Chain A
Amino acid sequence: MSTLHVLSHSPFGDSRFASCLRIFGEHDALLLCGDATYALRPGTAPFETLLGRGLKLFVLAEDVQARALQAPDWAKAIDYPAFVELSIEHDKVNTWL
C-alpha cells in the first residue's frame, strides 16, 4: 500500500515534518506545498534530512517560485493537475493539517 504524504507547514519550529519522516513507509511519497517548501533551503537541517533520505519527493512549483526557492534535481516540481494525478496514483493521501 502506498501513501502520499502532503505537508504544507514550515519545517522550522513545527513537528509535522519530523513526525512525517519518522513514520514514512517504504512505498510512500512526499509532496511539499505552501510553507513546507521552505525545506528546500540549501544547507538547512530539513534540506539535509531530505537529501539523506532519498525518498520520492514532489514539490508544488508555484509555491517554490513564490518563495524564491529552487527545486533540487532530486525533487520533482509539479503543478496542480499533476498533484491531482499523484493523489489518484497512491492508495491514500495523508494530509498533515
Chain B
Amino acid sequence: MPKSLLLISRQAPWSGPSAREALDIVLAGGAFDLPIGLLFLDDGVLQLLAAQDARAVQQKDLSANLQALPLFGVEQLFVCADSAAERGVAPDTLALDDVNVLDAAQIAALIDRYDQVITL
C-alpha cells in the first residue's frame, strides 16, 4: 500500500511558481494512482477565483490544471473555510467542483489522516 500524501497549497496563483508546482505534484501523484489530497490554505484559496486572466500578466492559465484533477483521480479536494472567508471568497463560486470546505479542527483531523504532508 503506497503512502498517502496531502499537499497544502498556500500561495496566490501569480506570485511565483508555487501554485503551479503544487498542482503538478498532485497531478503526477494522481497519474500514478497514489492516494493524494489537495488542500487550499491561506492565499492558496485565491487560485480558485473564477474568471481570472493569466494572459494579462504573461502567465499560463491554471484553470485547465485544476479541471484536470478529477481526470487524474484526484478527488480529495479541500478548502480552508477561514482563509476563504477572510479573502471574501464564497465557497459556492469556486472554479472547482466538489471541493470540501473545512474548518480549522477538520483540517487538523485531515492532516492526521495522511502519511505525509507537503506544504508549498
CB of A12 within 8 A of CB of B88, answer no
Tally chain B residues at the interface, Cβ within 8 Å. 22
Q: How many residues of A contact B (CB 8 A)?
A: 19
Interface-side segment among B30-38, B54-62, B67-75, B100-108: B54-62
Report Cα–Cα, A41/B86, bound state, in Å: 10
| Chain A residue at smallest Cβ distance from B49 | A68
If A66-B53, A68-B51 touch, does A41 touch B14 (CB 8 Å cutoff)? no
Which residues of A are found within 8 Å of B8, using beta-carbon distances? none
Residues A44 and B56 in contact in the complex (CB < 8 Å), given A12-B42, A67-B49: no
- CB nearest neighbor in B for A9: B15
* A positions within 8 Å CB-CB of B: 9-10, 12-13, 34-35, 38, 41-45, 47, 62-63, 65-68
